[in-house]
Amino acid sequence: MGAAGAIREDRLWQRHADMAKLGGTPKGGVNRQALSAEDAAARNLLGSWARARGFAVSTDAIGNLFVRREGSDPKALPVLSGSHMDSQPTGGRFDGMYGVLAAFEALEALEDAGVKTRRPVVAVAWTNEEGSRFQPGAMGSAVFAGHYDLDEMLQAKDWKGAVLKDALAETLKAAPALMLDGRPGFPLDGYVEAHIEQGPRLENERKTIGVVTAIQGSRRYIVTTHGEEAHAGTTPRAARKDAFAAALRIAQAMYEATTDKDDTLRFTIGRVDVAPGSPNTVPGRTVFTIDMRHPEDAVLEAHEKKLKEIVAAKAAPCSAGIERVTAVPPTIFDPMVVDLVRAKTNELTLSNMDMPSGAGHDAMHIAHLCPTGMIFVPCERGISHNEIENATPQDLAAGARVLVEVLVELANR
């Protein structure tokens, strides 16, 4: 296998180390949030590597970054591979970045091995997959797929009130690239995303490659409670409209309502903002986020109803509302791509297992446009969204070898 043989473990590992310096944190993780200066620096670094290899670098109106290696048939629809470079505030150096660097390593291996493909092969870094600074997440791929409206996303605000449109303009100014005209999105023939598993299964079962079959459904909400600011010393409990106490009642009831016996439903309150945030003022307003996931949409639908009932029942004497921010149904990957990932993995004699993804990925949107699949590699103790996230150079390179062989097959079909 020419292309797989040209994948270089040392080069791929070094690129991760170079990228990890951008937004690097004391514990060895990264804080490279979407459309931050660190994100711009990562875009520039990838762009400089790409230009050095003669690949075309372009971006679209939501900031998705594309690195294109031409094929022999300029009219053929491209095959894409990539992930995201933005991270959680206390993120790891592999989540997302591995998919972008494995795709770039595949382009380099094709060059080094002199492997021609009929279709262009394009490495992509999707904008704002994490959705921790600006909601919703997987924004760049969702706009590209036509699932979210570009103008609406440009008006998104981060927790400090910064508008996405302005942050994007600053990022594209700091990391210039040829702007593709018109609304984001172009026809493509296939998409494959490599990613660390972000769970313990591959490591526990001693497998090198995860042949990803599906992604579970996910929904995000914002709950706001409104009370009345009052003096902490003089206001009797009976007279209070404590917005945090209301949020607590609602949250507690939600945790109970989403505790299923087989521990399949995922319910997370990741962020709580209490206003005015003064120790001696009774909170007048509380905002908290909900992230809820399950392999079956009907279960999410049923629990959404319960969440709404709880908000109505537990708010008094405050008022409260729940707003759904996103609802992404479960994704089933194209069997042709899943079988191809498994076949190439077996040809490379790498241990593997079929598995669904608990984490969300850009592939959940792109799967609506073309045959799509994913390749997982293990991460240490399955830890992710944590600065101690870790993987091995050998596993990262193994995933890149499978990726490049799958891309060759798709780009020549």
Among ligand HGY, Mn ion, none, partner that 360 touches (CB below 5 to 8 angstroms by kind): ligand HGY
Who's near 77: CB < 8 A, 6+ residues apart?
A: 119, 187, 188, 189
CB of 38 to ligand HGY, least distance (A): 17
Per-residue binding string, ligand HGY, 136-165, x by CB under 6 A, is -x----------------------------
Q: Is 130 in the site for ligand HGY (CB under 6 A)?
A: yes
Using CB under 6 A as the binding rule, whether residue 362 contacts ligand HGY is answered as no
Q: For residue 139, give both structure tokens.
A: 């924004």
Q: Which residues contact 285 (CB under 8 A, 6 or more apart)?
A: 224, 225, 226, 227, 243, 274, 275
CA distance 395 to 401: 10
* Distance in Å, CB of 72 to Mn ion, minimum: 33
Least distance in angstroms from the C-beta of 166 to ligand HGY: 23
| CB atoms closer than 10 angstroms to residue 54 | 9
Q: Does residue 378 touch ligand HGY according to CB under 6 A?
A: no
**Among residues 130 and 409, whose Cβ is nearest to ligand HGY?**
130
Q: Taking CB under 6 A as the criterion, which residues in 100-129 touch ligand HGY?
A: 129
- Least distance between Mn ion and beta carbon 88 (Å): 6
- End-to-end CA distance of the chain, in Å? 17
Short-list 101, 155, 98, 159, CA closest to 361: 98
H or E stretch at 397: helix 393-411
Pick from 258, 239, 253: nearest CA to 320: 253
Binding mask 291-330 for ligand HGY (x = CB under 6 A): ----------------------------------------
**Could you say which of Mn ion, ligand HGY, none residue 23 binds, taking C-beta under 5 to 8 angstroms by partner kind?**
none
Q: Does 359 bind ligand HGY (CB under 6 A)?
A: yes
Nearer to ligand HGY, 223 or 363 (CB): 363
Residue 405 touching ligand HGY (CB under 6 A): no
What region, left, alpha or beta, does residue 388 occupy, with left being phi > 0 and alpha being psi -120 to 50 degrees? Answer: alpha
Element (H, E) at 225: strand 217-226
Between 184 and 360, CB nearer to ligand HGY: 360
Q: 162 exposed, middle or buried (CB, 10 Å; 0-12, 13-18, 19+)?
A: middle
The nearest distance, CB 359 to ligand HGY, in angstroms, is 4
Residues that bind ligand HGY in the complex, under the rule CB under 6 A? 129-130, 137, 359-360
